[in-house]
């Protein structure tokens, strides 16, 4: 249990909350006093999350939702407004790796799907939730990215391009809000023991890299009202080094 209570009475939305970093970040946010709106497609994972949050004395609203459905994202924004009238934090964590493949071998449908989840869905979240975030006294948005956006290694072109696009969008969005109470930042978790990492690096010993529960507090620190930076790239792969997007 954390002794922080920096998210008391705040409403925080986390995507990709049924497993991995999103799952443990949702638990961390709830322990710190937030009411968590947990978004994922997997109902079972959300129910497990709710059990853990309740056992820790927290509260959550479960929203089984496919982020490829932009109209559903719009409806969610309306529902949040009707119930809470604001949103204090958005952790946009959900993402898709896609194939590790020569670019010329990629299927157009897969390229469209990866960009739709990694980029377009985050645009739709901004579009739907910005009015709610601006009702907060300290709205915070955290996009989860990757060092692939900069390294652009061979065969990682699809994932790298989608994360580079996400970073570019976040940089512009942060600049647009430089004079508001809404702060937008990007985090690179670095190697973490997730299903995506296992798919990307199948020969790696998972015991040699951090578990999501170990990095989750660092994510939630960045959607706390105590964190006042805007337009930053926080690199956990590089000991949490912060630099402008």
DSSP string, 146-195: -THHHH--TT-HHHHHHHHHHHHHHHHHHHHTTTSS-EEEEEE--S-SSH
Q: Which of 159, 173, 227, 233 is catalytic?
A: 159
Angle, alpha carbons 39-42-48 (nearest 5°)? 85
- Is 159 among the residues known to form the active site? yes
Across the strands, what pairs with 36?
Answer: 12, 60
Cα dihedral sign for 183, 126, 20, 57?
Answer: positive
Neighbours of 114 (CB within 10 A): 21
Residues labelled as active-site residues: 159
């Amino acid at each position: 249990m954390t002794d922080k209570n920096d998210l008391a009475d705040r409403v925080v939305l986390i995507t990709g909350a049924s497993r991995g970093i999103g799952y443990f970040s949702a638990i961390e946010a709830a322990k710190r006093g937030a009411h968590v709106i947990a978004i994922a497609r997997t109902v079972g994972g959300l129910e497990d999350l709710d059990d853990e949050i309740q056992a820790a004395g927290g509260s959550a609203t479960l929203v089984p939702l496919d982020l490829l459905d932009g109209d559903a994202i719009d409806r969610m924004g309306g529902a949040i407004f009707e119930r809470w009238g604001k949103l204090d934090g958005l952790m946009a964590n959900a993402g898709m790796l896609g194939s590790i493949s020569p670019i010329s071998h990629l299927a157009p449908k897969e390229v469209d799907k990866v960009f739709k989840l990694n980029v377009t869905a985050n645009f739709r979240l901004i579009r739907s939730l910005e009015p709610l975030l601006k009702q907060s006294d300290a709205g915070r948005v955290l996009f989860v990215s990757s060092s692939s956006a900069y390294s652009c290694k061979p065969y990682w072109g699809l994932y790298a391009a989608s994360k580079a696009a996400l970073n570019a969008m976040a940089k512009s969005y942060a600049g647009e809000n430089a004079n508001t109470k809404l702060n937008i930042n990007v985090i690179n978790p670095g190697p973490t023991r997730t299903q995506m990492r296992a798919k990307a690096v199948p020969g790696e010993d998972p015991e040699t890299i951090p578990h999501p529960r170990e990095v989750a507090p660092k994510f939630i620190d960045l959607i706390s009202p105590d964190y006042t930076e805007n337009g930053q790239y926080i690199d956990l792969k590089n000991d949490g080094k912060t630099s402008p997007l």
